[in-house]
Structure 1
Amino acid sequence: MADLILKVFPASRKEKEAFAYYRDGMSAQADGEYAEALENYEEALKLEEDSNDRSYILYNMGLIYASNGDHDRALTLYHEAIDENPRLPQALNNIAVIYHYLGEKAKEEGNDDEGDKFFDQAADYWKRAILQAPNNYIEAQNWLKTTGRSGMDVYF
């Protein structure tokens, strides 16, 4: 069905090819074939010109790197996704999740100051995500309130 839609969709050959790589990347990612997914996403990025579409490609690549524990690469990709599309609260949320994880890890290792810095960064990104999607990220909203990092009144 997707192939049929792709054939009749009013887009240039390049746009259709970019979408095909993106679609194949999503399929491979869903099957746990991360290397194949990344290859397809890289090809899609070479062809895709639309910043909104590029943001989702970068976001999905970030998901793969985050799931594999490469937080630095994931953060870079999430930031690139936000540069392409500033209205991508899920990327902001995922950045916050990584910073929160790093904060917990630092605290466990006895680095309280470093942990607090990561927690503050997580709070900043969660606030941005919540402003864009106020009905989402309820756990983050609760964490912000209970840690005194909120300072916002967007809770529903």
Structure 2
Amino acid sequence: MPRTQRNDNFIDKSFTVMADIILKILPTNQKAKEAFAYYRDGMSAQADGEYAEALENYLEALKLEEDPNDRSYILYNIGLIHTSNGEQDKAMEYYLEALELNPRLPQALNNIAVIYHYRGDRAKEGGQDEEAEEMYQKAAEYWKRAIRIAPNNYIEAQNWLKTTGRSTMDVYF
């Protein structure tokens, strides 16, 4: 039984019913509808912390989905799962692949920046100042790109960029 048929709360059931109605009315092919169903089930599983189940659903959706923009969101969500599992290298691969399909995905840019910043902190703690600076510089570049796309988001990153002297821009758009 698909995950969306197991939802117990009213909001999840309502969303599922609405999504199913919209899917039936939309002039799209069966393959795209199946891809969306897998994606929706993946999101539901991910929200419940069932990462293995979510990953299975996303991978099935990825096999079926042809639209590059939709594929970018599937890849991004796969990256989130790997990030949650502490698999930064794998997450980075999926975020970068998502960005290849959709360069205007600020959340992927932000998550890459977060990984580089984290790596910079670890390098600094280990006394590797040059490597730390390199990681911080990469984080800064990805955050600048994310902020240019979504200037009202990532306020902490904007503050970090300013306080560390990595950016003097007050307005990113």
TM-score category of the 2 structures, normalised to the smaller one: over 0.9
Corresponding position of 1:24: 41
TM-score, normalised with respect to structure 1: 0.96
Separation in structure 2 between the aligned mates of residue 34 and residue 23 of structure 1, nearest angstrom:
14
Deviations 1:50-89 (A, max 9, x none): 1110010000111110111100001000000000101101
> What is the CA-CA distance between 1:9 and the residue it aligns to?
2.2
Could you list the structure 1 runs, at least 4 aligned residues long, displaced by more than 4 angstroms after superposition. Answer: none
Number of aligned residue pairs: 156
Contact 2:113 2:138 in 1 (8 A): yes
> What is the CA-CA distance between 1:148 and the residue it aligns to?
0.7
Separation in structure 2 between the aligned mates of residue 94 and residue 134 of structure 1, nearest angstrom:
16
* RMSD across aligned positions (CA): 1.3
Within a 5 Å distance, the mapping from 1:4-153 to structure 2 comes to 4-153=21-170
Unaligned runs of 5+ in 1: none
> What is the CA-CA distance between 1:155 and the residue it aligns to?
5.6
Deviations 1:70-110 (A, max 9, x none): 00001000000000101101100010001001100111111
Contact 1:141 1:155 in 2 (8 A): no
TM-score, normalised with respect to structure 2: 0.87
Separation in structure 2 between the aligned mates of residue 3 and residue 133 of structure 1, nearest angstrom:
31
Separation in structure 1 between the aligned mates of residue 116 and residue 122 of structure 2, nearest angstrom:
10
In structure 2, the residue corresponding to 1:110 is in which secondary structure? coil
Separation in structure 1 between the aligned mates of residue 55 and residue 23 of structure 2, nearest angstrom:
21
Percent identical pairs in the alignment equals 74
Contact 1:135 1:155 in 2 (8 A): no
In structure 1, the residue corresponding to 2:103 is in which secondary structure? coil
Unaligned runs of 5+ in 2: 1-16
> What is the CA-CA distance between 1:119 and the residue it aligns to?
0.3
Separation in structure 2 between the aligned mates of residue 6 and residue 76 of structure 1, nearest angstrom:
31
